[in-house]
Amino acid sequence: MPQIAQLADTWSSQVFWLLVFFGITFFVIGKGMVPKVMDTVAQRDGQIAADLAAAKAARDAADEQEEAWRVKENENRAAAQAIVAKAKDEAAKKSEKKLAAAQKRLDKKLAEAEVRIDEARTAALAEVESVATEAAQDIVKTLAGVSVTKPVAAKAVKEQMAHG
Amino acid sequence: MAAEQAKVDPMYQFTIEPLGGSEAWELAGYNIAFTNSAMWMLITTVVLFIFVLGGMRRQLVPGRWQMMVETFTGFIDNMLEANIGKAGRKYVPYVFSLFMFILFANLLGLLPLGVIGLHPFTFTSHFTVTGVLAIISFSIVLLVGFWKHGLHFFSLFVPHGTPLPMIPVIAPIEFISFMVRPFSLGLRLFVAMMAGHVLLEVLSSFVIDGTNAGAGFGLLVGLPSFILMIGICALELLVAGIQAYVFALLTSLYINDAENLH
C-alpha cells in the first residue's frame, strides 16, 4: 500500500502541495470568485423580487381603479334610472290629467245630448197629440156629423195614448 | 504492464512519483518534491478555476455554464443555511472550496486517461491529503468554537438535559467522539476513494487475465467482469459526488456545533 509504504518519503511534499493548491483554491476561488457569483445571484433575486412587487403594485392599482370605476358606474346607472323613473312618473301624471279632462268634456257633451233628446222627444210627443186630436175631430165629424170641441178630443186622445 | 505476463498491481496506481527531477526539492529540511500527486492537485485547481471563471459573467439571465456554477454555490449556501442558519453564510467560501476541490479531484481521478497513455492520480485516495483537509476543518471548528464561546465551548461535551450523575460518564464519551471526528472525516474519504479504485483495478485484471487465458475464460470471467466494471464506474462517479458532499456536510455540521453549541 503506497500510502503507508511511501509515507515517510512523501508526507511533507503531500502536505506542502496540498496547502499550496488548496490555499490557492480557497483564497482565489472561494474568497475571490464565489462571493461575486453569489452576489450576482442575490442581485438577480432582488431584481425578481422588485419586479414582482412592482407587478403586484400595478395590479393592485388596476383593481382599485376598476373598483372606483364600478362605483361610479353604479352611481351613474342609479342616477339614470332615477331620471327615467321621474320622467315616466311625470308623463303618467300628465296623461292622467289629459284623460280626466277629455272624460269631463265627453260627459258634458253626453249630458247635453241627452237633454236635447229629451226635449226633442217631448216636442215630438206634443206634436203627435195635437195631430191625433185633429185627426180624431175630423174622424168624428165625418163619421157621426158631430162637432167635437178640441179639449174633449184632446182628452180622449190622451186617454187612449196612456192606455197604449 | 498488461503486455508482460498481464501483471496488474491494483496498488500501483497509488504510487507517488516525483516529476521532472524534483525529488530533491526541500523547504526547511522537508522534502517538497513536485510529485504526480501535486500535479493533479494543480490540475484540479486549474480546472476548478476555469469552471468557476465561466460562472463569473454576471449576467442577469444566466447561460448554462453560469447557471451550473450558481447551482453549486447555491447548493453550498443552502446546505450551510439549513445546518447552521444565517451565520453559516460566512463559511460558504471555505465549504465551497472544500466541496469543489474534493469533487473535482475525485472526478478527475476517474477520467479514463489510461486510454491515451496518461496515468490519472486520485490524491483524495491518500490519507495524508484527506487527513490534512480533515484537520483544517477540525481546526476551524475548534477556532470558531473557542472564539465564539470561550471555555463555554466545553459544554458541547455535556448534551442538553443530561442528568447530573451521568455527566462524568457522558462527558468522556462525547469528548472521545468529538476527537474522533477528524479521523472519521479523513479516513472515510480516503477509504471510499481507494476502495473504488482498487475494485476497478482488480476487475480490470480479471478482464485482462481472463481474456489472456483463452476465449472460454474470456467469455466466462472477462465479459461479466467488464460489464460489472461499467456498472462500478457509474457507481464510482456517484461515490465521487457523495463523498465530496459528505465531507462538506459533516464539516458544516461540525461548524454548526461550534457556532450554536447544542
Res. B3: pLDDT tops 60? no
The amino acid sitting at B32 is I
Burial of A9 (0-12, 13-18, 19+ CB in 10 A): middle
- A26 to chain B, any CB pair closer than 8 A? The answer is yes
Phi-psi bin for B5: left (phi > 0), alpha (psi -120 to 50), beta? Answer: left
- pLDDT of B160: 78
The minimum CA-CA distance between A46 and chain B, rounded to whole Å, is: 11
- Considering only the beta carbons, identify the residue of A1, A14, A41 that sits closest to B37: A14
DSSP annotation of B143: H
Sign, Cα dihedral of B196, B201, B207, B209: negative
Residue B77 contacts A where some CB pair is shorter than 8 Å: yes
A and B: number of Cβ contacts within 8 A = 140
Grid cell in block for residue B59: 449576467
pLDDT in tens, B196-246: 999 988 888 888 888 888 888 778 888 888 899 999 999 999 999 999 999
Tell me, what DSSP letter sits at residue B261? -
For residue range A40-93, what is the model confidence (pLDDT) as tens digits?
Answer: 889 899 999 999 999 999 999 999 999 999 999 999 999 999 999 999 999 999
Considering only CB atoms, A2 lies closest to which of B16, B132, B136, namely B16
Q: Are A25 and B48 in contact (CB under 8 A)?
A: yes
Please indicate whether, in this complex, the C-beta atoms of B60 and A24 are within 8 angstroms of each other.
Answer: no
- Identify the CA nearest to B255 among candidates B104, B137, B153: B137
CB-count exposure of residue B108 (10 Å: 0-12, 13-18, 19+): buried
CA distance B243 to B241: 6
A14/B16 CB distance under 8 A: yes
- Give dist(CA B162, CA B160) in Å, integer: 6
Query: Is beta strand B30-31 parallel, antiparallel or unpaired with respect to B26-27?
Result: antiparallel
Give the mutation candidate from A36, A37, A47 for the B interface (greatest B CB count, under 10 A). Answer: A37
Whether residues A25 and B55 touch (CB distance < 8 A) is answered with: no
Interface of B with A in 3-32 (CB under 8 A): 11-12, 14-16, 18, 25, 27, 30-32
Could you tell me the pTM of the whole model? Answer: 0.73
ipTM exceeds 0.95: no
Question: Does the CB of B189 have a partner CB in chain A at under 8 Å?
Answer: no
Instruction: Collect all residues of chain A within an 8 Å Cβ-Cβ radius of residue B93.
Output: 26, 30-31, 34-35
pLDDT in tens, B56-106: 877 778 888 888 998 999 999 999 999 888 888 889 999 999 999 999 999
B153 or A123, higher pLDDT: A123
